[in-house]
Amino acid sequence: MKVALLDYGVGNLHSLVKALELGGADVCIEADAERALRADALVLPGVGAFGAAANRVGPAADSIRAALEGGLPCLGICLGMQLLFESSEEGEGRGIGMFNGTVVRLSGRRVPHMGWNQVESSRDPLFVGSENLIAYYAHSFVAPPAANADAIAWTEYEGTRFPAAVLRNRTWGVQFHPEKSDVAGVRLVQNFLREAGQ
């Protein structure tokens, strides 16, 4: 399976490429969003800031949303998940709009939320074998209340409960970094590839 990893031009994608390749994917790092849509599946990585990434993705946002609505499998990770929404309080620019609402700043005494945290997951196939996942987080923004209807997993941080994962059609978004979340996180990436291949 050919998987396009969309490169916003702002970070090291090595660990994510390795996790996808461990799952048997043929990974191409693609800076051109329109070309990335020719792959069998799309991954939006979790590196960078919303404004800069939206600036890179924005011109192709309608094409990406149409492809996802048409069934192209997609996994958005951290910032990649946030780009699946309409906008973000973090910065200007429009997101892809696959999910409704504006990403909001995480409330808490210590922000950003950095480190390991429990993920309370549903029975979605993405979490098979990772039901008791403790995942690695590095973020200051979270999905808006509008995402509650699409949530398939949750995390609590300093009294705030927020969606750890969302799903619509064949598009998954995870707020944590599965590629940095040990064996269970890599298994989640492999589960995405299995679902994408069906």
pLDDT above 70 as % of the chain: 99
* Cβ-contact 60, 90 below 8 angstroms: no
12 and 177 in contact (C-beta within 8 Å)? no
Residue 98: which residues within 8 A CB-CB, separation 6 or more? 65, 68, 69, 74, 84, 85, 168, 169, 171
Domain boundaries, the chain: 2-196
C-alpha span between 14 and 160 (Å, rounded): 31
- pLDDT, tens only, 47-80: 889 999 999 898 999 999 999 999 999 999 999 9
CATH class name, domain 2-196: alpha beta
The conformation of residue 56, written as its DSSP 8-state character, comes to H
Residue numbers of the chain with a pLDDT score lower than 70: 10-11
pLDDT at 169: 96
Q: Which helix (H) or strand (E) holds 107?
A: none
pLDDT of residue 93: 94
* pTM score of the predicted model: 0.96
pLDDT recorded at residue 37: 97
- CA distances to 66, 114, 164, 189 from 110, in Å: 38, 9, 18, 29
Residues designated as active site: 78, 177, 179
How far apart CA 33 and CA 37 sit, in angstroms, is 7
Q: Write down the pLDDT at residue 58.
A: 86
Burial class (CB in 10 A: 0-12, 13-18, 19+), 91: middle
* pLDDT value for 106: 96
* Token pair listed for 132: 């008791």
If we measure between CA atoms, which residue out of 58, 9, 1, 57 comes closest to residue 29?
9
